[in-house]
Amino acid sequence: MSPELTIPHPFEKEGSVLVEQAVLSLLRTFRQTSTTAPEAGGVLLGFRRGPHLHVTAATTPQPCDRQSRYSFARSEKLHQRLAHEHWHRFDHTGDYLGEWHTHPETKPAPSGIDISEWRRICVERPAHMLFLILGNSSSLWLGCGFGNDVKGRTIDLNC
């Protein structure tokens, strides 16, 4: 089992982004390791603690999501309901932190569609948002967005 992932917050000098090991383990189960596996995705849930973002949970593909080899479109209603349950479970402190999905590539990178969608989310929400793309081996792309700006990088998890 690999440890949690911690990186410096790209927009907050004193902040960090922490993704719990349990979340990473859950997301790994959706890697596109076969040539027919569809993209998967969901939302990232957790806590905003001052300049820090702490991912403690994630939703997984739901029955109404649209999945294909090279795209994932999540059902707004089901994931929103799960995020709302998270918010209630933690006395209205748990929050929607961002989005995750898979790509069928070794070193994942956001597509133009990804960046456009993330910018739309960031403009609608006046908070730093996280975006994670899990590749089909040991790498992921983790980024943060605010306003019209999205900053991120590929990280090798050596798993």
Angle at 66 between CA 153 and CA 146, to 5 degrees: 35
Here the tokens at position 60 are 């997984």
- Among candidate residues 4, 14, 20, 39, the one labeled active-site is 39
* 12 catalytic residue (yes or no): no
For the chain, where are the alpha helices, taking DSSP H only? 21-28, 76-89, 112-124
Q: How far is CA 129 from the centre of its chain?
A: 9
Contact 43, 7 (CB under 8 A): no
Here the tokens at position 4 are 């949690």
- Through-space distance between the first and last CA atoms of the chain, rounded to whole angstroms: 8
Q: Catalytic site residues?
A: 39
